[in-house]
A and B are shown apart, each in its own frame.
Chain A
Amino acid sequence: MVIQERTEKKYGMVVDIDRCSGCQACVVACQSENNVRINDERDFLQRRAVQWIRIERYWEGEFPNAKARFIPMFCQHCDDAPCEPVCPVYATYHNNEGLNVQVYNRCIGTRFCANNDPYNVRFFNYWEPVWPESLRNQLNPDVSIRSRGIMEKCTFCVQRIRRAGRDAKKADQQLTDGDINPACVQACPTDALVFGDLKDENSKVSILKNHERSYRVLEHVGTSPSVYYLKKVDKHATEEGHEVHD
């Protein structure tokens, strides 16, 4: 049923950095929606914390004029994804909806995809994830639990995409823009994250991606990401220190 519903779409997102307050609601929502493991202090110290979406924080300037810049970073679902051709077992590939898909039970854990990922948005389960007894009921039944030795990353909440598709078919309706919302988009209090079909000219993402503030991260690496960022409006910012990548 799901296969018949898949049409030629290209899902993408727009992140408005001007609206992002760095509150990390998206991080929490993603973790609870996707059964992401619990990261304790040890995981952060070992640099093995798994956060499918993270808020990267950069400091700009010196005290007393230091500013914090936030940028939510998650899998960019690149059209020319460098992580895809390097997997020996086809555990990651690009489907016809424009999603970079990770197949957990095919992954043997070579971690080549993570090395070839310029955004560092792929996460490896170095340990077996453990949930205390009390938290096991909060696990989302739509999302599989990954054991150790498997790579995982943001899927644009593909389970929600499928569910929306099934619901639309049951109600005999077409999917419209705004029907599908990944967990992070749903949780964001400032509407900084927008999700939609980039092939639909009238969708919000398509309109926003042509905004004058729009850019993509690491454009020069040539990955063609599906995530567009809108630059922060800062009346004090200058052009100094910014690289011009032609």
Chain B
Amino acid sequence: MTNGHGSHHVIEITEKPPLEVNNELFGWSSTLGSKYRLAIGITGILFLLGIVGFIMKVQQNGFSDYVPWAYLTAAFGFVMLFAMSAPMLAIVPRLARGHWGRPISRIAELWALIGILLLIVMIPLLLALPEADGRNTFWFVDKYREGWPPGAPHVWLALLMVGLVVNGIALLWTAAIPDFAAIRDKSISSGKSAKLYGKLALGWRGTKRQWRSLRASHGVLGALYFATMVWSQTMINYDFSQSLIPGMRDSIFPAWYVISGLQSGVGLVLVTAYIARKFGNLQDYIHVNQFWSASKILLALSLLWAYFWWSGFIVYWYGKTETEKNIIDLFWFGAYKPMFILNMLLNFFIPLIFLMWNRVRKSDWGPAFVGFIVILGSLVNCIRIFTAAFSLPDRAIGHQLHTVPESIMKPDLPDVLMVSGIISGAILLYLIAIRYIPIISAWEIREGMLYQTVRYLHKLPLKVIGKPD
């Protein structure tokens, strides 16, 4: 009946008067100091440089060919993976009715705002991407006819992405409505922000009916978001990577890509939560328990990452057709071998070695560190699979992969500027958002406080968690 540890550890739960929670969390953004302004400054400059790089690229290459846009595509894929997968860490605990997700749910959902940046960046990429005509796409093309439905894949990809971003923002918004209403009521004296938050709160009064419909919308939007996110990651992977490689038929490649996205999303939330806890002074709200629970998910996803990769590899290795041998060369053991080994380290071995240990998972720095490693790995991953796919000259339908490039595609200056620009742009957008939207969901914390308490079991203090039906 004991936990086998036998050591006394501090039980961290938030026990504050609800009004104090509101005041602290809503007033938090005004406590952001010089470090915050410095971060905004740096990311702002890098973002502007990214725009400069983009203009340089357009003047240099235009949109006639997709190959020069390889690095921007890789960066787009990377940011989409981590930012759009992050809300999962808000959806999953809510679905499983786990209270541990409460402090980090808003942190996770806020990343969905990055979708706006992604939609803008997607425009040049779609302009450059070749039509479905005459090449493999997912859209059930008969080999010798034109792509159907018309506009494939661009129109459908754009629709998916728009749907995903709208869904993500809707999720963020509905989950924040009670907080917006509280801010509206708090600042009832100061007109301007009351008006703004009043509009955002959509007439929230906190009636029973409103609560019921709010929870229902969370459930529906959450499930819809998961499905849309998985499907759009699948399609991005198809249209920008697999379909550009002649003869490649890898059914697990998109699923593995989704797993790498989920992995980097969880990692991102862990890093953000750690920064918020340490530099934002939110230790009272973000406890080690959040890292303990999320790190289990991160460990499982890291194992799944390696498992999915192995499933693809073993089938290709065994099959030994010419295309399969060339794909093994292209992605894993040819010119891109150093990047692939780095990937294996960053996305599998290091997370495994670190997160195996209870002590590491039970700290805040451990999972955050692994989260950062995983994000780095995801960047290397995206660069690897997108630039490798873009570096092939021939993608016609019915053709097989015959030649593999000798060396990796090197980035030029506009590429570097654009990659750093889009990543900084994502961080910048997030930093601006937390100024106006409370970074921790106050109403969920207050609700959680009702469900958690400490009681004694045979003289041992233990946490008691309510499990409402």
Contact = CB atoms under 8 A, between A and B. Distances in A.
Chains A and B share a contact (CB less than 8 Å): yes
A222 B320 contact: yes
Contacts of B318: 85
B398 interface: yes
A80 B324 CA distance: 14
Interface string A144-169: 00000000000000000000000000
Contacts of A85: 318
A222 B322 contact: yes
B400 A220 contact: yes
B319 interface: yes
Given A220-B321, A220-B400, A246-B400, 4 more contacts: A85-B318, A246-B247, A246-B398, A246-B402
B399 A246 contact: yes
Contacts of B321: 220-222
B interface, over-half SS? loop
B412 to A, nearest CB: 32
Interface in A202-246: 220-222, 243-246
Interface in B275-325: 318-322, 324
Interface residues of B, number: 11
A85 B319 CA distance: 11
A13 to B, nearest CB: 23
Contact of B398 (A80, A221, A222, A244): A244
A222 B319 contact: yes
Interface in B320-345: 320-322, 324
Interface of A: 80, 85, 220-222, 243-246
Contacts of B402: 246
20 contacts: A80-B320, A85-B318, A220-B321, A220-B322, A220-B400, A221-B321, A222-B319, A222-B320, A222-B321, A222-B322, A222-B324, A243-B398, A244-B398, A245-B398, A245-B400, A246-B247, A246-B398, A246-B399, A246-B400, A246-B402
Nearest to A116: B318
Contacts of A80: 320
A222 B322 CA distance: 6
Nearest to A85: B318
A80 B320 CA distance: 8
A53 B324 CA distance: 31
A244 B400 CA distance: 11
- Residue from A222, A243, A244, A246 with most neighbouring chain B CB atoms (10 Å): A246
A80 B319 CA distance: 10
Nearest to A86: B318
A246 B403 CA distance: 13
Nearest to A219: B322
Nearest to B319: A222
Contacts of A221: 321
Contacts of B400: 220, 245-246
For the complex of A and B, 6 pairs with smallest distance between CB atoms: A222-B321, A246-B399, A246-B400, A222-B322, A80-B320, A222-B320
A36 to B, nearest CB: 31
B142 to A, nearest CB: 14
Contacts of A245: 398, 400
Contacts of B324: 222
Nearest to B318: A85
A220 B324 CA distance: 11
Interface in B393-441: 398-400, 402
A17 B361 CA distance: 69
A221 B318 CA distance: 12
A211 B324 CA distance: 29
Contacts of B319: 222
B326 to A, nearest CB: 11
Interface in B83-130: none
Nearest to B321: A222
Contacts of A246: 247, 398-400, 402
Nearest to A80: B320
Nearest to B322: A222
A184 B400 CA distance: 36
Contacts of A243: 398
A173 B294 CA distance: 77
A244 B247 CA distance: 13
B320 to A, nearest CB: 6
A238 to B, nearest CB: 16
B353 to A, nearest CB: 33
B223 to A, nearest CB: 40
A58 B320 CA distance: 29
Interface string B240-270: 0000000100000000000000000000000
A244 B143 CA distance: 12
B13 to A, nearest CB: 57
Contacts of A244: 398
A245 B402 CA distance: 12
Nearest to B247: A246
A246 B323 CA distance: 11
B387 to A, nearest CB: 24
A246 B322 CA distance: 11
Contacts of B398: 243-246
- Residue from A85, A222, A243, A244 with most neighbouring chain B CB atoms (10 Å): A222
A221 B321 CA distance: 6
A222 B326 CA distance: 12
B230 to A, nearest CB: 32
A245 B322 CA distance: 12
